[in-house]
Structure 1
Amino acid sequence: MLALEVAILSEMGGRKANEDACGHWHSVDELCCVLADGAGGHGGGGVAARLVVERMLQGFAARPTTGARQLTDLVFDTNRAVIEARTPHTERANMFSTVVGLVIDFVRHQVHWAHAGDSRLYWFREGRIHARTRDHSLVQSLVDAGLLPPEQARSHPQRSELRSALGTASDVLEVSDSGEPHEVLAGDVFLLCTDGLWEHVPDAALLATLAAASSPTAWLAALEQVVTEATRQKASHDNFTALTVWTSAAPAA
């Protein structure tokens, strides 16, 4: 069995409201973590993000997923809930949200995930990035097509333009997942974060701060400092949210 430590960071940044949301729930053998970044104007993004996290966690609690296909189905169910919650002429009229969901089976040492949009999952092992989700965004499409160098993606003027997000018609919604469950090793670290964080924290800074951190909370505090320094001259920078899970070998009974 694995022991898990979870820590959360969610800051308003330079905005008037925080339209990010995240949360987690666990059963006797699985942990489910969900993070969302809302959009839609007039507060609708915050409503959407909170709805996404709530529905994902409630859905998982009612029927824990055992693989990525089931988690993707839950994302599509949640997408329908976002569409159904829209109300014309209110803050909910045009709301959307990204989502990234992570499930760790800490008894069987397995992990699976699913996501839509540009909120990311990073998986770290032995001081390196072991895996990362690929954004559903215009900029990622340009990088994939060889039309934009990866190092220019963070500063591209259209970096926030999404190809997929919850609130989109189900027949065109793009959801990506991890495929078959992957083995988790003691010492692995997972990070879910919105673009308000990863945009300002290059991979080298992620790795350096993780290597220097003594705990999940200390790591997120260091990431917050990196974002704060990077946005010192950007008064209206985005909300930024992160949820991290650190794994270790559970003590013997």
Structure 2
Amino acid sequence: MMTDHLFGITDPGLVRDNNEDVFIAAELMQQKYQIAGVIDGVGGYAGGEIASALTKDCLLRELTGEIAEPQLALLQALFLANEKILFEKKTDLELADMACVASVAIIDCAQNILHYVHVGDTRLYLYRDQSLIKISQDQSFVGFLEDSGRLTEAAAMQHPKRNQINQALGLVPVADMPDNYIETGTSPFLPGDLLLVCSDGLTDMISQQEISAVLEQDIPIEEKAVSLIYLANAAGGKDNITVVLAKNTKIPVKTIVEDVPVNRIRNADEQIFEKNRQEELPFVFETENQFRTESTLPADLTEIEEPVITLPLQSNRHQQTKPEMPGEEGGSHQRNHNIIMLACFLVILLLGVAGWWFFRSRTESDNLEKVVRTAPVLLPAENKLSALLAGFKGDTLKLNTKDYNGVIRLTRTIEISRDSLVILAEGPLSLVKDSLFQGEAAIKFTGNQRSVHLNGIKITGFATGIIAPEHGLVLKNVIFENCGIALENRFAFKNNESVSGSISKNSFRVDTSGKK
């Protein structure tokens, strides 16, 4: 795939005969989103290629059509790929060792943001203002040592165990994945930003400094990607090398600041003025996200060809430019005073503009270095519960809390349409609102329930705990914690018909026997 803002390329390298890497560089939802991803296969000549191909296929199929929640869509696709890889491993013993690692991002340039998922030792980098920031974390022992600062990049690149990964798709079922098995996150993606997604075949061969030197060149992203492949091969090409680049091509908003000469002031306070100016104006603004440090200014300010203003502050230092005629002394002083005031105003204005842009730059840089990562998404347990509810045919659904470690984090509302059902938690079980939660309530009953019982469940952190129909709900030992509204009862009446009735205040009561 090649455009002016999205390009991907893969190369087998100089040592391996096959290529277990694949990449995705595609437009989604009529170019509303772009997807940039790299998948690196693991497990032998054939196995790695199959695992990476399965994962790519799952991503492309799951991300076709409307995408309401990009990060959840990415996560669901990786979960599906994980189960497909496990299935293939069971059907073919020769593929028993296959797995894959992946880093995939969905880019929303309209909102200047990207959403990503990551597992293994492929990497995502964000390049902005000549700075390369690694936003994914290597899920390997050597990667952990490098990310924590205990191992230098050069040492990590030479470490004999640098390719030993802790997590990958196809190793364990989704239901058995711990909370942080797949890393998820979001990051600002501003006009001019460049996203690099790559396999370890690149980062094991060339350093971040070498990568930055390529990315900062004013050349098309296709040439940048090809140059990175070339450098990795020139360094040895010991593994497959894959690079995907995506750029936010929107033009940065520019504030035009007219060039106004900063006049030199020759008086007793000249040295103090220049010292304060150097301390208070560390950066000179040129265009957005592009600064020039004072080291680029002339070393001697006398090199700046600007008009010199002399100030009549003290008679023994005063040098007049021309003799004053009788009756002109007051006018000359007034003109000099006006010039001084104008010069001071211009200096203050420049200091204010530069200070504002410096503050904005520091704020954006802080936001970049503190890449916003969402809380762990515990969808394995949520998916397991949803599948259980969808396929259950009996009357009483018993939930073994050990299967969920006592907690099910929800990213979406659980909707129950059965007209009669008993849900019984066999032990303490909490439904907890996840940071990615999108929905009205933890549980919402749809349809016209005759009899639905909930027993032994704790609901925590939701704006609304349960949305129930007008009748048919029975609660026993249900605890609401930090919910804005515990239970919302909804009624539907026919149009233009008289309604009579009441809601009993004794419908629900505190059950002291349910306290643990």
TM range (shorter): 0.7 to 0.9
| From 91, 102, 111, the counterpart of 1:99 | 102
Match of 2:194 in 1: 189
Task: Give the conservation status (yes or no) of the 8 Å contact 1:4–1:247.
Answer: no
Match of 2:183 in 1: 176
AA partner of residue 248 (structure 1): T
Match of 1:140 in 2: 143
Alpha-carbon distance in structure 2 between the residues aligned to 1:40 and 1:62: 32
Distance change >3 Å, CA 79–CA 89, structure 1 → 2:
closer
Alpha-carbon distance in structure 2 between the residues aligned to 1:246 and 1:103: 12
AA partner of residue 78 (structure 1): A
Larger mean Cα displacement after TM superposition, 66-75 or 108-117: 66-75
Identity of aligned residues (%): 25
Distance change >3 Å, CA 139–CA 243, structure 1 → 2:
same
Alpha-carbon distance in structure 2 between the residues aligned to 1:62 and 1:51: 19
Give the superposition deviation at 1:149.
Answer: 3.7
Deviations 1:68-102 (A, max 9, x none): 34422332222112112224545433210001110
Task: Give the conservation status (yes or no) of the 8 Å contact 2:9–2:23.
Answer: no
Q: Which runs of 5+ in 1 are unaligned?
A: none
Distance change >3 Å, CA 66–CA 211, structure 1 → 2:
same
Give the superposition deviation at 1:215.
Answer: 0.6
Alpha-carbon distance in structure 1 between the residues aligned to 2:149 and 2:24: 36
SS at match of 1:228: helix
Alpha-carbon distance in structure 2 between the residues aligned to 1:140 and 1:227: 19
Larger Cα-atom Rg: 2
Match of 1:161 in 2: 164
Alpha-carbon distance in structure 2 between the residues aligned to 1:154 and 1:39: 19
Alpha-carbon distance in structure 1 between the residues aligned to 2:29 and 2:148: 41
Task: Give the conservation status (yes or no) of the 8 Å contact 2:29–2:66.
Answer: no
Q: How does 1:45-60 map to 2 (within 5 A)?
A: 45-60=48-63
AA partner of residue 42 (structure 1): Y
Task: Give the conservation status (yes or no) of the 8 Å contact 1:35–1:100.
Answer: yes
Match of 1:217 in 2: 222
Match of 1:27 in 2: 29
* 1:64 pairs with 2:71: no
Alpha-carbon distance in structure 2 between the residues aligned to 1:17 and 1:99: 18
* 1:116 pairs with 2:123: no
Q: Which runs of 5+ in 2 are unaligned?
A: 252-516
Give the superposition deviation at 1:151.
Answer: 3.5
Alpha-carbon distance in structure 1 between the residues aligned to 2:142 and 2:118: 17
Alpha-carbon distance in structure 2 between the residues aligned to 1:106 and 1:143: 31
Task: Give the conservation status (yes or no) of the 8 Å contact 1:34–1:56.
Answer: no
Task: Give the conservation status (yes or no) of the 8 Å contact 1:42–1:91.
Answer: no
Deviations 1:113-136 (A, max 9, x none): 010000111111121124421110
Distance change >3 Å, CA 48–CA 141, structure 1 → 2:
same
Match of 1:207 in 2: 212
Alpha-carbon distance in structure 2 between the residues aligned to 1:172 and 1:209: 38
SS at match of 1:165: coil
Give the superposition deviation at 1:64.
Answer: 2.3
SS at match of 2:17: coil
Alpha-carbon distance in structure 2 between the residues aligned to 1:150 and 1:227: 16
Larger mean Cα displacement after TM superposition, 102-111 or 136-145: 136-145
TM-score (norm 1): 0.87
Deviations 1:43-75 (A, max 9, x none): 110011111111112111145253434422332
Alpha-carbon distance in structure 1 between the residues aligned to 2:57 and 2:36: 11
